[in-house]
Amino acid sequence: MIYIIPAKTYSWVSSLSCDELTALDGHLSEASAPIFSQLNQLRLAHGDYLKSTPLPCLRHLILDRCVSDTLKYLGNTAPQLKSLNIKLECSSTDEEFFYPFHQLYRLTMRVTGNYCIIKMRLIIF
């Protein structure tokens, strides 16, 4: 959740280890989870903590790191999602999934790791 931009990061955040930063993210996520359900735009460093958060109003999402489980969850919990920009980390070469993004009109996806097969249903009006 802490989005680190080197020019804008406080020195105490830069000195944290990866484990400490992840723990801090967890605490911040718990505190802000009630707010997430009301947001229509969101940008996060990763989507690790979104798996337990309803996002009924979310329309635009940017995730700098995402795994397939998070993406599957978003397909079901963010029905109003119109714009999605993610960096998807695929860990398996035979990963195949289907996402029910009914409102999505803009998808930007960078895939890292192994290749994967993605099936999306497109609805054209």
Boundaries of every domain in the chain: 36-120
From the CB of residue 61, how many other CB atoms can be counted at a distance below 10 Å?
23
d(CA 24, CA 10): 14
From the CB of residue 96, how many other CB atoms can be counted at a distance below 10 Å?
10
d(CA 98, CA 96): 7
d(CA 36, CA 24): 17
Residue 12's pLDDT band (cuts 50, 70, 90): low
How many residues comprise the chain? 125
From the CB of residue 33, how many other CB atoms can be counted at a distance below 10 Å?
14
**Segment 16-65, tens digit of pLDDT:** 777 777 777 777 767 777 788 888 998 887 777 777 788 899 999 998 88
Share of the chain above pLDDT 70, in %: 70
d(CA 123, CA 25): 36
Position of tokens 């105490």? 12
d(CA 81, CA 104): 6
Q: Which residues contact 31 (CB under 8 A, 6 or more apart)?
A: none
Task: Evaluate if pTM is beyond 0.85.
Answer: no
